[in-house]
């Protein structure tokens, strides 16, 4: 394998310099390319899961989520 270009950071990208053992980061001996930070996917909130399961988007409900909490109580037999 010939190195056509050196391993070096690129402008505009974010890299993990340190990390836990086994994580890709510069301090653990990984390349800059391997250590590039990739945003993890966001886990949906319980309210978002409930809204989606009913065929709605979270934005279809009030900003404070009170109406969605009321709906959850009704579905669980609380009202």
Per residue of the chain (79 residues), give pLDDT as tens.
Answer: 444 468 899 999 999 999 999 999 999 999 999 999 988 888 888 888 888 888 888 888 877 778 888 888 888 886 5
pLDDT at residue 62 in the model: 76
- Number of domains forming the structure of the chain: 2
Exposed, middle or buried by CB within 10 Å (0-12, 13-18, 19+), for 42? exposed
CA 34 – CA 16 distance, rounded (Å): 9
pLDDT at residue 78 in the model: 64
Q: pTM for the full model?
A: 0.46
Structural domain range at position 34: 13-39
Are 34 and 50 in a shared domain?
A: no
Are 32 and 51 in a shared domain?
A: no
62 occurs within a structural domain? yes
52 occurs within a structural domain? yes
4 occurs within a structural domain? no
Are 51 and 35 in a shared domain?
A: no
34 occurs within a structural domain? yes
């Amino acid at each position: 394998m010939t190195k056509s270009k050196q391993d070096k950071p690129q402008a505009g990208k974010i890299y993990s310099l340190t990390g836990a053992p086994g994580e890709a980061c510069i301090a653990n001996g990984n390349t800059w390319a391997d250590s590039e930070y990739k945003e993890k996917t966001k886990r949906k909130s319980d309210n978002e899961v409930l809204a989606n399961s009913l065929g709605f988007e979270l934005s279809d409900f009030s900003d404070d989520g009170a109406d969605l909490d009321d709906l959850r109580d009704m579905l669980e037999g609380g009202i």
